């Protein structure tokens, strides 16, 4: 599908979760939720995934853009509680067992309460046998994971096979392969209002989780600080998505050369008002540009940052 040369504004798919926070609804101008309803945990800002396509002119984006044209997914996530300890499969395992692509992702921290953080990777020396025994004997599984206290501007790359959990009090942007395959390992011993725990996926999780100190290192996770102070930076390059971060001063104008990768380009504004090819893009809003475009002109009406995904 050819989007044409104009910039297309998107509306997100909303995902309400018991662990959701209060910031996303406020940032999106949605007002207060009804009493008793689950809070807004995720907004799928740029998505053709069947479980939550974003909207283009009121119609699901996957009616217009294929998975091949946009094999990535861009979310905002807001937490008031820990997410489950989980892991995602790589492409080979997911295609063989789930009829799906795998799920590698990355996170950019947009907000964090004091002391908040994320769990990512095994502590040094943790073995598969030790970890699996801990699951079977009912241990607190976060004791095996590395906790990273976070600040605004932190970046983490989360490859398939990396054990992880987003902690309480974090607002982040997630860029990932367009896949919903998640294997839950442990859910903090939580029970629902009927006394039931969430389904876990131990057998598959143990097949895809990667152990060993070389893999579970900051080098693998490409941890960076203060990425919003870098002007324009190529944050990560993956076979199915390339991510750039761009920070501009008020009234600054730039022309970006776009990758000729054949994929539709996604723009997620994080803060400050932008004009993208003359189209206004408010904070925490997303837009698309066609795969045929080779340059992108952006003007910052206010100082701020945005993400460009190709």
What does the pLDDT look like over 81-106, one tens digit per residue? 999 999 999 999 999 999 999 999 99
- Residue 177 has a pLDDT of 98
pLDDT grade, residue 36 (50/70/90)?
Answer: low
Give the domain-ending residue among 173, 195, 227.
227
Is position 143 within any domain?
yes
Q: pLDDT over 90 for what percent of the chain?
A: 88
Is residue 3 assigned to a domain? no
Do 68 and 197 share a domain, yes or no?
yes
Determine the pLDDT at residue 4: 62
Q: What is the mean pLDDT of residues 231-253?
A: 96
Are the beta carbons of 263 and 285 closer than 8 angstroms? Answer: no
- Domain co-membership, 222 together with 243: no
Residue 184 is a catalytic residue: yes
**Does residue 1 sit within a domain?**
no
141 and 49 assigned to the same domain:
yes
- Do 300 and 190 lie in a common domain? no
Q: Same structural domain for residues 207 and 242? A: no
The whole-number average pLDDT for the span 167-187 is 98
Spatial separation of the C-alpha atoms in residues 141 and 185, rounded to whole Å: 8
Identify the residue whose tokens are 């046998």.
Answer: 129
Instruction: Report the pLDDT averaged over residues 193-214.
Output: 93
Average pLDDT, the chain: 94
Give 6's pLDDT tier (boundaries 50, 70, 90): confident
Q: Which of 95, 143, 184, 293 is catalytic?
A: 184
* 20 and 153 together in one domain: yes
CB under 8 Å to 134, separation ≥6 — which residues?
A: 141, 143, 144
Whether 265 and 167 share a structural domain: no
* Sign of torsion over alpha carbons 222, 228, 234, 239: positive
Domain CATH for 165: 2.60.120.10
One domain for residues 205 and 240: no
CA distance 178 to 175: 9
- pLDDT (average), residues 242-265: 95
Give residue-wise pLDDT tens across range 273-298. 999 999 999 999 999 999 999 999 99
Same domain, 242 and 295: yes
Q: Considering 227, 243, 270, which residue would you say is the last residue of a domain? A: 227
Whether residue 239 is found in the same domain as residue 219? no
Asked whether residue 46 is assigned to any structural domain, the reply reads yes
Q: Is residue 110 part of a domain?
A: yes
Q: What domain count does the chain have?
A: 2
What's the pLDDT at 194?
A: 79
Band of the pLDDT at 1, cuts 50, 70, 90?
Answer: very low
**pLDDT for residue 203 is more than 50:** yes
Residue 2 domain flag: no
Among the three residues 209, 227, 245, which one is the final residue of a domain in this structure?
227
Do residues 198 and 236 both lie within one domain? Answer: no
pLDDT at 37: 75
DSSP letters along the chain, please?
A: ----SS-EEEEPEEEE-TTB-SHHHHHTT--PPPTTSPPEEEEEEE---TTS--EETTEEGGGTS-TTT--EEEEEEEBSSPPPEEE---HHHHHHHHSS----EEEEEEEE-TT-EEEEEEPTT--HHHHHHHHHTT--GGGGEEEEE--TT-EEEE-TT--EEE-TTEEEEEEEES----EEEE-TT---TTSPPPP--HHHHHHH---STTTSSHHHHT-BS-GGGSSEEEEEEETTEEEEEEEE-TT-EEEEEPP-SSSPEEEEEEES-EEETTEEE-TT-EEEE-TT--EEEEEESSSEEEEEE-
Could you list the residue range(s) of the whole structural domain that residue 249 is in?
Answer: 230-309
Answer yes or no: do 185 and 250 share one domain. no
């Amino acid at each position: 599908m050819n989007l044409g040369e104009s910039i297309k504004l998107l509306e997100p798919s909303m995902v309400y979760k018991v662990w959701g926070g209060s910031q996303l609804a406020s940032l999106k101008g949605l007002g207060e939720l009804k009493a008793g309803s689950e809070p807004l945990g995720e907004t799928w800002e740029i998505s053709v995934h069947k479980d939550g396509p974003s909207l283009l002119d009121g119609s699901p984006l996957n009616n217009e853009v294929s998975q091949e044209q946009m094999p990535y997914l861009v979310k905002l996530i807001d937490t008031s509680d820990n997410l489950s300890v989980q892991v995602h499969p790589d492409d080979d395992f997911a295609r063989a067992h789930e009829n799906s692509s795998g799920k590698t992702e990355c996170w950019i921290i947009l907000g964090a309460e004091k002391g908040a953080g994320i769990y990512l990777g095994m502590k040094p020396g943790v073995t598969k046998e030790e970890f699996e025994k801990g699951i079977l004997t009912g241990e607190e599984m976060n004791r095996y994971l590395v906790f990273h206290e976070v600040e605004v501007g932190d970046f983490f790359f989360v490859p398939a096979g990396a054990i992880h959990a987003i902690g309480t009090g974090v607002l982040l942007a997630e860029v990932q392969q367009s896949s919903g395959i998640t294997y839950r390992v442990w859910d903090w011993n939580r029970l629902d209002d009927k006394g039931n725990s969430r389904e876990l996926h131990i057998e598959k999780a143990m097949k895809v989780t990667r152990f060993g100190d070389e893999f579970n290192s900051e080098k693998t996770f490409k941890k960076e600080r203060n990425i919003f102070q870098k002007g324009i930076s190529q944050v990560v390059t993956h076979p199915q998505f390339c991510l750039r971060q761009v920070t501009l001063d008020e009234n600054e104008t730039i022309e970006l050369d776009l990758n000729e990768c054949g994929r539709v380009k996604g723009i997620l504004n994080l803060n400050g008002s932008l004009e993208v090819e003359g189209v206004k893009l408010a904070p925490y809003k997303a837009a698309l540009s066609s795969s045929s475009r080779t340059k992108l002109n952006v003007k910052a009406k206010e100082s701020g940052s945005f993400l460009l995904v190709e």
